[in-house]
Chain A
Amino acid sequence: MVIVEQFLKLFENFQYLELNQLAMWLIGGLLIFLAIKKEMEPTLLLPMGLGAILVNLPINPAEAESGILGVLNHLFNMGMTHESFELFPLLLFIGIGAMIDFGPVLSNPKLMIFGAAAQFGIFFTLCLGLMVGFDLNDAASAAIIGAADGPTSIVVAQTLGSKYMGAIMVAAYSYMALVPVVQPPIIKLCTTKKERRIRMSNASGRPVSKLTKILFPIVVTIVVGLFAPGSVALVGFLMFGNLLRECGVLDSLSETAQKVLANLITIFLGISVASQMTADKFLTWETILILGLGLAAFVFDTFGGVMLAKLMNLFLPEGKKINPMIGAAGISAFPMSGRVVHKMGLAEDPQNFLLMHSIGVNVSGQVASVIAGGIILAMVQG
């Protein structure tokens, strides 16, 4: 009898299993599948996928906080909450800064304007979010998915106290990986074949001195600090990483930031975000709305960038016209968006090499998206 009782104890947990937890296992499995099979942002979707399964395992509610959910919540509180200064995304930005070469945009600085235009989707989606009934903070948090930049999305959503952190993170990282699927149809819809075949000279780029590369992160930090103090932490850490890269005397630190630091933080970030993916928080209509808003943000970002290039072309003389597709690379999903535009250019005209321009715009989108995050914070909080 005792043996049977002891054996049955193994099945005790089954009584706590709910249907929505099973649904979350499927969602976790889907994220893992996309990460491994489709190689979509595997560094984040994989830990988030397994994490989604972990936090939805059946457990006696009384013991939940001492179990895996407690551990992940602790990790989340240590590095992701506003009280912990969103330490994980900020530290990740040091690594990202160390990875970015601002050379292409420094050699042709006017391309940066497309980085600004391609943030249109964020602000437009904020209005859409309000229209579907979210309050201002949640609408802004959903809209910032359009920054196409995970760390910025986390910082803004956390600072604004959004209840939909898990959905925002899933949307931010999945759409980033889906850039090659989302952007081309929008670009094609907004441009004519003739426009897509516009060739841009690579000779317009000027040589960039080492001093310029060193001064650039310092100048950007000061300018952003003065005008958008809300994003100074993000920009400061991004530019600190870049300064490590460009200074030329801290190669080992730069390499550590690019590899060890970025990898370590990515592991913690992915798995701790999963703590927000419990069935009761994630399986709601609002999650579906947020996924929809995120998609809208990406679509209108692309639209904004392309439209500015088309507008500029109205005033530019023949031979100096801009291929409007490069405007779409202003979305900061780096470097996918730049590559997508380059490939589309080649598909239209095998001799049309847009890579230098599109990567330049793409890099400036990285800076612009952080600034947009800071502006959103300043305006929504203020």
Chain B
Amino acid sequence: MNFLNQLMAASIAENFKNVVSDGLPIMVAGMLGIFVVIGIIILSVYALSLIKCDGNFTRGLRALFGKK
């Protein structure tokens, strides 16, 4: 029984080490990555809708760069 407890404790410690070394970096980098990619898509969509906002491509492009 004592041996089993020791074995479980060892396995929990080992698994926790895996979480810290593999899981957490993937979690942080992954969430960051997904926000960046989605952020770029959002910006692209705003750019797209701005270009075509009044049905006039040239005027839309000017609006995108802040010119009237």
Contacts between the two chains (Cβ within 8 Å), count: 111
A212 near B49 with CB under 8 A, answer yes
B48 near A113 with CB under 8 A, answer no
**Contact partners of A367 in chain B: CB under 8 A:** 38, 41
Proximity string of chain B (3-39) to chain A, C-beta cutoff 8 Å, 1 when within and 0 when not: 0000000010001101100111011011101111111
Count of A residues near B, CB < 8 Å?
Answer: 45
- A residues 100-154 touching B (CB-CB < 8 Å): 105-106, 109-110, 112-113, 115-117, 119-120, 122-124, 126-127, 130-133, 136, 139-140
B23 near A109 with CB under 8 A, answer no
Proximity string of chain B (30-56) to chain A, C-beta cutoff 8 Å, 1 when within and 0 when not: 110111111111101110110111010
**Contact partners of A117 in chain B: CB under 8 A:** 35
B24 near A127 with CB under 8 A, answer yes
B27 near A126 with CB under 8 A, answer yes
Point out the residue from A133, A139, A209, A228 that lies within 8 Å of B23, measured CB to CB: A139
Given contacts A116-B35, A133-B11, contact A220 B30 (CB under 8 A): no
**Contact partners of B46 in chain A: CB under 8 A:** 109
Q: Once bound together, how far apart are the Cα atoms of A302 and B7, in whole Å?
A: 35
CB distance from B18 to the nearest CB of A (A): 5
**Contact partners of A132 in chain B: CB under 8 A:** 15
Nearest chain-B residue to A122 (Cβ)?
B30
Q: Does A85 contact B (CB under 8 A)?
A: no
B48 near A123 with CB under 8 A, answer no
Point out the residue from B11, B36, B42, B51 that lies within 8 Å of A227, measured CB to CB: B36
Point out the residue from B18, B31, B37 that lies within 8 Å of A223, measured CB to CB: B37
**Contact partners of A119 in chain B: CB under 8 A:** 31, 34
CB distance from A248 to the nearest CB of B (A): 15
CB distance from A159 to the nearest CB of B (A): 16
Q: Does A372 contact B (CB under 8 A)?
A: yes
CB distance from B57 to the nearest CB of A (A): 8
Given contacts A106-B45, A208-B49, A364-B38, contact A372 B19 (CB under 8 A): no
B42 near A126 with CB under 8 A, answer no
CB distance from A230 to the nearest CB of B (A): 11
Q: Does A333 contact B (CB under 8 A)?
A: no
**Contact partners of A126 in chain B: CB under 8 A:** 23, 26-27
A375 near B33 with CB under 8 A, answer yes
CB distance from A338 to the nearest CB of B (A): 18
Measuring CB to CB, which residues of chain A are less than 8 angstroms from any residue of chain B? 105-106, 109-110, 112-113, 115-117, 119-120, 122-124, 126-127, 130-133, 136, 139-140, 206, 208-209, 211-212, 215-216, 219-220, 223-224, 227-228, 364, 367-368, 371-372, 375-376, 379-380
Ordered by A's residue number, 15 sampled pairs between the chains whose C-beta atoms are within 8 Å are A123-B27, A130-B15, A130-B18, A130-B23, A139-B23, A208-B49, A223-B40, A223-B41, A227-B33, A227-B36, A227-B37, A368-B38, A371-B34, A371-B37, A380-B26
**Assuming A109-B45, A113-B39, what are 14 further A-B pairs, CB within 8 angstroms?**
A106-B49, A112-B42, A116-B38, A116-B39, A122-B30, A123-B27, A126-B27, A208-B49, A216-B48, A219-B48, A227-B36, A364-B38, A368-B38, A371-B37
